[in-house]
Amino acid sequence: MLKVPEHQVAGHRAINGNLGPVIDNLGHFYKPLLDDERGSKELAFYKSFSSDTRVPDHIRRFFPVFYGTQDLEASDGSGFRPHLVLQDLAANHRSPSIMDVKIGSRTWYPEASEDYIQKCLEKDRKTTTVSLGFRISGLQIYESKESGFWKPEKKQVQSFTADNVRLVLRKFVSSNSSIGSNENPDCSLAPIVYGGSAGILEQLLELKAWFENQTIYHFHSCSVLILFDKESVLKGRTSVAEVKLIDFAHVVEGRDVIDHNFLGGLCSLIKFVSEILSSSKESSIKACFMESEKKCYCTNNSNYW
Amino acid sequence: MLKVPEHQVAGHRAINGNLGPVIDNLGHFYKPLLDDERGSKELAFYKSFSSDTRVPDHIRRFFPVFYGTQDLEASDGSGFRPHLVLQDLAANHRSPSIMDVKIGSRTWYPEASEDYIQKCLEKDRKTTTVSLGFRISGLQIYESKESGFWKPEKKQVQSFTADNVRLVLRKFVSSNSSIGSNENPDCSLAPIVYGGSAGILEQLLELKAWFENQTIYHFHSCSVLILFDKESVLKGRTSVAEVKLIDFAHVVEGRDVIDHNFLGGLCSLIKFVSEILSSSKESSIKACFMESEKKCYCTNNSNYW
């Protein structure tokens, strides 16, 4: 039984007669191949990538598993159409907080058509792509069983400023119940989600090390997907946060040059994440300090209790 | 006695009635302040940078020393004009090989005028700026006492392709006497100039580490200058290669964001340099191996000698 993915945060959705991806109950994500060259390029990437022995396993795990292609009835009612069969990245998550971050200070590339370049350039300048080296393309943050997700509208996400991005990256790892309107989120989950040896920061650093050297692919308009289950974190489970790379319709050959555009943007994102992590560490040290002062006070005044 | 710098490889030269920098015999480089905002911006940068305590000393050494400003007769005969008084980076070099590499896959920035942005964008796309994340703006390579320098014309440098850049970076550290026309330079100086604990690669990596963290400045249209004395290297002197940053007329505040554009381009240059270094190591291992095989042959055949 195929259905519309519940946790899709960016891209066209398979609703209201639109063409979009569908999922099954077995952990597969079916992405329709577009008629223009985007479809053939993404398929070519997955084929090349899956068989490329130069890609080490610890890097391969950042990419969705590719199972081939399959003809399926398209969600827009236009009949059968080939779909990429990919791993459904949200399959193992019950209520995942997800952020789609398009990496690079440039989404266009010299080989593209002039129309495409101008369209991208305009959007890159309007969003944080040029200024920050990345832009948030979509997100959902789990609040609670009662209120569900905070999922700002596409228009709102597209108009994010640098300050909005900073705040959203803080909200993403906060436990406050009403996260959307909160201007001062607590970042209490930062040490577990962003930090630690299996956290988001370590995963981004691992990717960075690969991008400093790899000259196989240039990933234009590609996203880093960050996801985790807030409920699992609150239950004390570790290693729950994941980094994945998605959207490869604009990948071109590297031709012995590193992907300096992706790398620069990735380093910028890393800096944002690490600053939240260090400020949350500082505030927890402060909290500990205040806590121990309080204890100290209590001890000194123990006679009064 | 002021004179036109002999070893200037990029930018306007103070000849034929043009406005350009001049030097003295005491190691000073006088750069005329332009009337438009470029002059005031570069002066503002030097003033801010010289007194900024957040810049560590091991990074400060990559920048020319700033001695203030001085009113001097301009080289274009237009009368007195304020000049930046800077350290003459070529002063201690007799016959320096120099390369001016403009870093970043984008020389424009959102705060600039639309005219400037379009002009830069066009040049970035025509040169290797977009594709490689940097472009060579000018260079001279010392050949020998007899033939002097190979110094390709501006037009030729501006039309460098990725392959030209790769070849020039190899020529730069080669000992062949006729370097300009040589399509297969020996790269014999690579281990000393690019390699080693005080070589170009180590210096670029030191800069990279700073750029991964610093959010004070964004260096648009700024160049890495690489220079060394071939004769000193051939005489066996070490620590002769230097990396310097120059041209700060388009530096803007970082506003808590790293300079991802500069960092990406710098990492790309680092990859180019490190590949030349590793291939030159490989070829010297091969040469050693062949040499030892020859010796082996000689030893085995010693009875015949």
Give helix B260-300 / helix B162-171 axis angle, nearest 10°. 60
Mean pLDDT to the nearest integer, A283-294: 63
The reply to whether A4 and A146 lie within a common domain is no
Q: Is A215 on the interface with B (CB under 8 A)?
A: yes
Say yes or no to pLDDT of B302 above 60: no
Q: Are residues A124 and A245 in the same domain?
A: yes
Distance CA A197, CA A188 (A): 17
Q: Do A105 and B110 touch (CB under 8 A)?
A: no
Place of tokens 């700060």: B248
CA distance A153 to A151: 6
Helix (H) or strand (E) segment spanning residue B211 = helix B200-211
Count Cβ atoms below 10 Å from residue A26 Cβ, excluding itself. Answer: 7
Mean pLDDT over all residues of chain A?
A: 91
Contact A164, A127 (CB under 8 A): no
- Establish if A300 belongs to a structural domain: no
Q: What angle do CA B208, A122, A163 make, to 5 degrees?
A: 60
Q: What angle do CA A278, A283, A287 make, to 5 degrees?
A: 145
Interface test with B, best of A130, A215, A260 (most B CBs within 10 A): A260
Same domain for B218 and B152, yes or no, is: yes
Residues of B in contact with A131 (CB under 8 A): 110, 257
Out of A106, A131, A258, the one facing B267 most closely (by C-beta) is A258
As a whole number of angstroms, the distance between CA A130 and CA A132 comes to 6
Q: What is the pLDDT of residues B123-152, one digit of tens each?
A: 999 999 999 999 999 999 999 889 999 999
From CA A262, how far away is CA A301, in angstroms rounded? Answer: 58
**pLDDT value at residue A288:** 58
Q: What is the pLDDT of residues B65-75, one digit of tens each?
A: 999 999 999 99
The pLDDT tens digits for B14-69 are 888 899 999 999 999 999 998 888 899 999 999 999 999 999 999 999 999 999 99
- Whether A122 and A83 map to the same domain: the answer is no
Long-range pairs for A253-256: beta carbons < 8 A, 24 or more residues apart: A253/A216, A253/A217, A253/A218, A254/A214, A254/A215, A254/A216, A254/A217, A254/A218, A255/A215, A255/B162, A256/A215, A256/B162, A256/B166, A256/B275
* Residue-level pLDDT at A237: 78
Q: Closest partner residue to A257 among B213, B255, B268, by Cβ?
A: B268
- CATH number, domain with residue B248: 3.30.470.160
Mean pLDDT of A103-108: 98
Chain B environment of A261 (Cβ under 8 Å): 105, 133, 264
Residues A137 and A181 in one domain: yes
**Residue (of A194, A200, A198, A224) closest to A211 by Cα position:** A224
Whether B39 contacts B33, CB under 8 Å? yes
Does B264 contact chain A (CB < 8 Å)?
A: yes
Instruction: Round to whole Å and give the CA distance between B167 and A49.
Output: 30
Q: Looking at this predicted complex, what is its ipTM? A: 0.92
Same domain, yes or no, for A207 and A276?
A: yes
Q: Which of A62, A91, A120 is the last residue of a domain?
A: A91
pLDDT at residue A300 above 50?
Answer: no
Task: Give the end of a domain, one of A43, A60, A91.
Answer: A91
Mutate to test the interface with A, among B125, B164, B207, B260 (most CBs of A within 10 A): B260
Contact A138, A153 (CB under 8 A): no
Helix, strand, coil proportions of chain B in percent (round to 5)?
40, 20, 40
B302: in domain: no
Q: Do B253 and B149 share a domain, yes or no?
A: yes
Cβ-based neighbours of B111, under 8 Å, separated by 6 or more: B252
For residue A262, the 8-state DSSP code is: H
B65 and B108 share a domain? no
Domain annotation covers residue A217: yes
Any idea which residue has 């004390």 for tokens? A236
Q: Please indicate, yes or no, whether residues B29 and B52 belong to a single structural domain of this protein.
A: yes
Our measurement of the distance from residue A111's CA atom to the centroid of its chain's CA atoms, rounded to an integer in Å, reads 26
Q: Which residues of A touch B256 (CB under 8 A)?
A: 162, 166, 275
The verdict on A36 and A112 lying in the same domain is no
Nearest-angstrom CA–CA distance, B265 and B257: 16
pTM: 0.93
- Inter-chain residue contact A106 with B110, CB threshold 8 Å: no
Task: Please check whether residue B293 lies inside any domain of the structure.
Answer: no
CB-based contact A132 B260, cutoff 8 Å: yes
State the residue range of the domain holding A63. Answer: 1-91
Cβ distance of A267 and B264 shorter than 8 Å: yes
Amino acid identity of B11? G
Tell me the C-alpha distance between B135 and B164, whole Å. Answer: 11
CA angle B165, B169, B173 (to 5 degrees): 160
Evaluate whether A182 touches A168 at the Cβ level (below 8 Å): no
Contact B271 A258 (CB under 8 A): yes
Phi, psi (deg, nearest 5) at residue B29: -120, 120
Distance from CA of A187 to the nearest CA of B (A): 19
CB B210 within 8 A of CB B59: yes
* Neighboring chain B residues of A166 at a CB cutoff of 8 Å: 256
pLDDT at site A130? 98
**Inter-chain residue contact B263 with A258, CB threshold 8 Å:** no
Residue A135 lies in a domain: yes
Structural domain contains residue A292: no
Instruction: Please indicate, yes or no, if residue A237 is contained in any of the structural domains.
Output: yes
Three-state SS at B226:
strand
Is the minimum CB–CB distance between A107 and chain B shorter than 8 Å? no
Chain A window 45-104: which residues touch B at a Cβ cutoff of 8 Å? Answer: none
Confidence of residue A287 (pLDDT cuts 50, 70, 90): low
**B220: nearest Cα among B154, B152, B151, B123:** B123
Determine whether the interchain pair A257/B130 forms a contact, defined as Cβ–Cβ distance below 8 Å: no
Asked if residue A297 is part of any domain, the answer here is no
Of A91, A119, A150, the one marking the end of a domain is A91
- Which of B105, B110, B212 has its CB closest to that of A267? B212
Regarding whether B274 and B128 lie in a shared domain, the answer is yes
pLDDT in tens, B264-296: 999 999 999 999 999 887 776 666 566 565 554
Eight-class DSSP state of A3: B
Q: How far is B289 from chain A (nearest CA, A)?
A: 28
Name residue B98's beta-bridge partners. Answer: B140, B227
Same domain, B112 and B194: yes
pLDDT tens digits for range B213-247 = 999 999 999 999 999 999 888 888 766 899 999 99
Number of separate domains in chain A: 2
Q: Which residue has the tokens 């103070």?
A: B14
